[in-house]
Structure 1
Amino acid sequence: MDTLELFTTIRCDLELLRVADQLSENVGWNQHPSPFYMLDFHRDRMLKAAVHWGWDAAAKTLDGETGLRFMEKFLRDNVSDLASTPYAAKILINEHGALSIVERPTGPVHLNNLFPSHLPAPLHHDTQHPLEARREASRVPERNFDYEILVDGQRTTQSEFTHFKTTHRPMYEEARHRAGINSPADKKEVLLINHRDGSIMEGSITTPYFWRNGRWVTPPVAEEFDMARGSGGNRGTSRRWALER
């Protein structure tokens, strides 16, 4: 295995500066002007991973308000000019607490999709009352069904490397290869299957939600790493945001 690093990928977008003016409260970090999407949640999951792996120097770099502001400054100092395009910034940290960054341009996303007031039912199940629909209309996410969703033909063993986001990713790469997904630009996603019980673990690069008995559900993830609990998937930032609301 190459030298292990922890990472998270953060959306960096000047459109996020409009959140405080355009959306109601209870959106979290971005209620205060920041071009970095859910930065505190991204920091939290990196910190939790560092503590789990016993990386004291990395945990010290990320811990507390000082660690959060350090991570914010690191982004501001290292992300290209946001005036030109939004970026996906992959922040990595090694066991010695050294940060590095890999950035790539990314496409526009409507604020309603980043901060939905609710997740609407599938079109053929949408029974929302008209008054409720009008009241929530300002933060209904745009619907986009361009992706083909595939199920992996092999099962994946849950482990620390599926619970935490690290640079050790052969399980995801192999699932994508089996599904014929050749690049991030492909409009495809593959769902990984837990080896233990055959349940859905997660997507290779996404968090899946399923419509069940009149509501959305998502594969359960244990609060602390445990081989015998949960789906084995990653504690994604948007999943946490949705579940807390």
Structure 2
Amino acid sequence: MADDFSLFTSLRYDPALLELPSKNIDYAGWNSANRSPFYMLDYHRDRMLRAATHWKWEKAIQVLSGEEGLEALRKAAEEFIGPCQTTPLRFKILVSREGVVSFEKNNTAPVGLENLFPLRLPPPGSPSGPQEPRKTPSWTIVLDNDQTAASEYTHFKTTKRDMYNSSRERRAIALTDEREVLLVNHDDGSIMEGSLTTPYFWRDGRWVTPPVAATFNSGAGSGGQDGTSRRWALERGLAVEQAIPANSLVDGEECWISNGVRGFIAGVVRLE
């Protein structure tokens, strides 16, 4: 069925986030104000709620809305994980049309707090300073050798992910590879996003990331998603929105990518 899908988001569960107050990281947003091991849980709730509102899923909207919805989501997530989890997890939240919330979890690699909540993204050729993300490991960033049509399923994060899976298959990228593929917009040849991440490129002395329309129906933007770590970076001035033609990428150029599980990761473009 065309409407047989769920909303979902993937985020990091990490007990190290409980150390934010002792590390004097007071600029992290929700995680600074709430002692929680769930990375940017408020932003993940927000984007699922925007998607539910777009599709007019009234029961899902009711479950996710307001402070009550966020607190209920937090408590349900904590109950699912349990009190004895001491290592980080990739934590997936799914919400159905009927407002049913379910969870999945898998192990994930350790990440430093400076990669989760950086004060700045160091420019190309510059070493990482205090409270800036480490440049190792560095992922290989490649372009998809096909183009992707923008749709509501690229604007919102759902379980309809054939376009992302196909992009990764064309570049032979496994889930555990330190590689990412960038989707290219079918209409204008611009970068939409990564298959699992938001990309950032150095242009005119600043980091830029593909623009995302405020609403799907506006027809603006790159056609990609409003990622949670992307929102965090834009709100704090780490990057700005700017269209990025795929043919402007240069082999060997340094970049950054980010997502809700690994935070900010260094990358190098390879035009293979």
TM-score by length of 2: 0.82
Which whole-Å CA distance do the structure 1 matches of 2:178 and 2:133 have between them?
Answer: 19
Counterpart position of 1:108: 110
Q: Superposed, which structure 2 residues align to 1:2-41 within 5 Å?
A: 3-31=4-32, 32-41=34-43
How much has 1:226 moved relative to structure 2?
Answer: 3.2
Q: Deviations over 1:9-68 (max 9, x none)?
A: 121110000012203322101103111100100000000100001100000000000000
In the TM superposition, residue 102 of structure 1 has moved relative to its aligned partner by 1.1
Shift of 1:215: 0.7
2:137 & 2:203 partners in 1: Cα distance? Answer: 19
Is the aligned partner of 1:218 residue 2:209? Answer: yes
Unaligned runs of 5+ in 1: none
* Cα deviation digits, residues 98-125 of structure 1 (max 9, x gap): 01111101111000000000111011xx
Q: C-alpha distance in 2, partners of 1:67/1:222?
A: 25
Matches of 1:21 and 1:226 in 2, distance apart? Answer: 44
Equivalent position amino acid for 1:243 in 2 = L
Paired residue secondary structure (1:139): coil
Shift of 1:81: 5.1
Contact 2:15 2:86 in 1 (8 A): no
- The one-letter code of the counterpart of 2:233 is A
CA distance in structure 1 between the partners assigned to 2:205 and 2:69 by the alignment? 41
CA contact (8 A) 1:159 1:227 kept: no
Equivalent residue number for residue 74 of structure 2: 72
Is it true that 1:234 corresponds to 2:235 in the alignment? no
1:55 is matched with: 57
- Number of residue pairs the alignment of both structures matches: 234
CA distance in 1, matches of 2:230, 2:24: 19
Which residue of structure 1 lines up, in the alignment, with residue 146 of structure 2? 154
**What is the CA–CA distance in structure 1 between the aligned matches of 2:76 and 2:203, rounded to whole Å?**
41
2:143 aligned partner, one-letter code: V
Distance across 1 between alignment mates of 2:132 and 2:117: 9
1:179-198 → structure 2 map (5 Å cutoff): 179-181=171-173, 183-198=174-189
Partner of 1:99: 101
Tell which has more relative contact order, 1 or 2 (C-alpha 8 A, sep 6+).
2
Q: Which runs of 5+ in 2 are unaligned?
A: 237-272
Counterpart pick for 1:244 among 235, 238, 245: 235
Q: 1 CA distance for matches of 2:218 and 2:160?
A: 18
Q: Which amino acid aligns with 1:167?
A: T
Matched letter for residue 54 of structure 1: K
Q: Return structure 1 stretches of 4+ with deviation > 3 angstroms.
A: 80-84
Please state which structure has a larger fraction of its residues in helix: 1
* Distance in structure 2 (CA, Å) of the matches to 1:79 and 1:224: 33
Deviation sequence 1:121-172 (CA, Å, 0-9, x none): 011xx4x9xxxx9xxx431111125322110111100010000000000000
Alignment of 1:81-100 (within 5 A): 83-100=85-102
Distance in structure 2 (CA, Å) of the matches to 1:84 and 1:25: 23
Supply the AA of the counterpart residue of 1:242: A
Counterpart amino acid of residue 173 in structure 1: N
- State the identity %: 50
Contact 2:6 2:158 in 1 (8 A): yes
Shift of 1:184: 1.1
Tell me, in whole angstroms, the C-alpha distance in 2 between the residues paired with 1:166 and 1:146.
Answer: 28
Give the TM-score normalised by structure 1: 0.91
Corresponding letter in the other structure for 1:192? L
Matching residue within 149, 162, 167 for 2:159? 167
